[in-house]
Structures are given as C-alpha cells and as structure tokens.
Structure 1
Amino acid sequence: MESWKLYFTDVIEIDPDRVWLDLCRGIEEAKDYCRAFLWSYVEDSGQKLVVLGPKEYEYRRTVNSASSVTQCWRELIAEADSTVLRKRRDEEPDKENLWRLKFLDHTNQRGRGPVFEISRWIFHTLAKELNLAITLTFEKIEATAEDVIVLLNTLWERADDIFCQPRTRLSFHGTLLGGIGGLGKQLQDGLHTVTSI
C-alpha cells in the first residue's frame, strides 16, 4: 500500500484514496489508474543481479509472473477495503454495499465488477504485453531425505555463518526432520522443551 500511495502522490499527483472510491463507483478512469499502477509495479521491479558470463551484473525484472501481479492486486484490495473503504462505510452506513471491493464474490467464485475486470486484464493483457508467465515457471517436487540431510549438515557445520539464536536454528532442524517422518508438531514441541531448559 505504501508503493500505491507514493505512486499516486508523487507520480500521478492525485489523492490515492480517491482512486479506491472512484473504483467503487465504477468510474473508468479509476480502472485506468489501477492498470497503470500494476503496469508500473511490474516495470519498476527490476534489480541489478549478479550473473555468470561476460557481464558481472545484469538488470532484470523480478516480477515475471501474472500470479505475482494478481497477488499484489489481491493484497491492495484487502488493504483498501479494511482502511479507506471501511472509513467510508462507517461514515455512510446506508451505502455500505457501494463502498466495498472484493476480490472474490460471496460464493468464493470469480468476482465481478471493476476488481474482476482488472484481474482479467492482468492475465489477458498485461501478461501478454510484458511477457509474464501465466503458468508455473518451475516444477514442484518433494525434498528427499538426502536433500534434508545436506541441509541439516550445512546448518550444523556452518553455524557460525548463520546469524540467529541457537534455539531458532535447532527449531528449524526439528522442522526439517519432521518433514521426513511427519513428526513436525511432536518434534517441535520436544525441541522447544529442550531449548528452554
């Protein structure tokens, strides 16, 4: 929400709260402002990253998935609904439904109205124009017992390089071990008892 406020205050030079109110009213200009912000969110996500090859650094965008943009949009809607729009609902209880934005409808299905239109725009337009992935960019696989052992050994042998309390490191070890045998809660409780003695 801080990025939202800075963008509208410094770049567009309008009241950021007004955009939310106008979005509730279904004003097209508010939808355009939201699209412009989300476009900027993707374009301005670039960071200088270390790369292998002839160059030492390369400037790359860190937001590369339509799902990431949708998550940002979802969080903005939730924040606006619990702050700006809640205040307006308190001021005008007779218009409570007007001052409400939801990402999903009451049946937890796809929404409708301006929020839904922008959500569709993210996947159908923004994703194409900025070359955002619309499917998973990686394959999810489970960690093997060997993977967990490598992690545990590294955490144990390189303890001096890990800036955290020994109790936290030991608790993380318990979580990893619990992942192998499904003993998560019992192991965590046992480790917390050991570390508090």
Structure 2
Amino acid sequence: MSDWSALIRDVPDFPKPGIMFRDITPVLADPAAFAAAVAAMAAPWRATPPDAVAGIESRGFILGAALALELRCGFVPVRKPGKLPGRTLSQGYRLEYGSDRLEVHVDAVPAGARVLVVDDVLATGGTLRAATELLRRQGAQVIGADVLVELVPLGGRDRWDDAAPLRAALLM
C-alpha cells in the first residue's frame, strides 16, 4: 500500500472528551502499509544512522523497534513509571489533557551515543521533550526526533525548540 496515511483513523473523545485521537493501528495491521511507513520514517536517517533509536511507550516502541532494525542500530525503550527493572532516570511532562512521567534505565545509552527519539504522534511536544531530556542527562547526543504523524494545529513543533531536526512522515 503506497498511501498508508489513508489507514489512520480518527477516534473522537479518546482518551478524554474533546480529544481527537489518531489511531495508527490499522497501519500496523497492514504489512505493506507498515513497511512503507517505516521506510518513510527511516529515509532521512539512512545516510548517517544513529547508534540507537529510543522509542517512547507504547506505539513508539513498535515504530522505534522497526526503525532500529531498518537502520541497523540498537533500541532503547522509554517507558512510563514503574515499568523498567533496575535504576532509572525520570522526567515529567505535560500532555494536551494532563501530565505524566517517562523513565529510562540509567545505563540505557553510553555517553556520546548518537540517539534518535521516536514516537507515533507529535501533538503538543511534551513527550518528545521529556524523552530528549532523559537521554541528554545520560550524556547521549540526540541527533533528532522522528514521528509518524504530526498534528500541526497543536503546535508541538513550535515547542520542540531544539537544534536537532524533528521529522514527521505525515502532517495532519
């Protein structure tokens, strides 16, 4: 499927009233669409691939792991609190409908590692910013962020405010 973007569906009032959720699971369910989406996300990073891809829970795990395989590098899970065994670093952030925290293992990446942060959807930008801060606290060099879908009206790119590039496979 060349137009994988047609498979993204809107789910009104999820997870709270007034929120329009963009569901990417139909893209993941279609092998050709999933492959095309991952290829689109990988394209900007092929010339100089990262040492690792850091995928944000939970759909960022799926896309990030596939992207790490495509780019032939390691994968680092960035999780919600209490999900990782061992010592972790934690970072809070704001969502369009509340607040949350992310964690990563204290030894997830070596200092100086070139890391690409990946998530499914860029909305307000808080999740990407928190993951980036966590990785930088470990001494990682965040080379950029990559999302499958950017919800342009929510202004997350404006809040990115980072020297590292932010790429989106699809703008909505």
Tell me which interval the TM-score lies in, with the shorter structure as reference length.
Answer: under 0.3
Relative contact order, higher structure (CA 8 A, sep 6+)? 2
Compute the TM-score of the two structures, normalised by the length of structure 1: 0.22
Structure with bigger strand share is: 2
- Mark the structure with the bigger radius of gyration: 1
Compute the TM-score of the two structures, normalised by the length of structure 2: 0.24
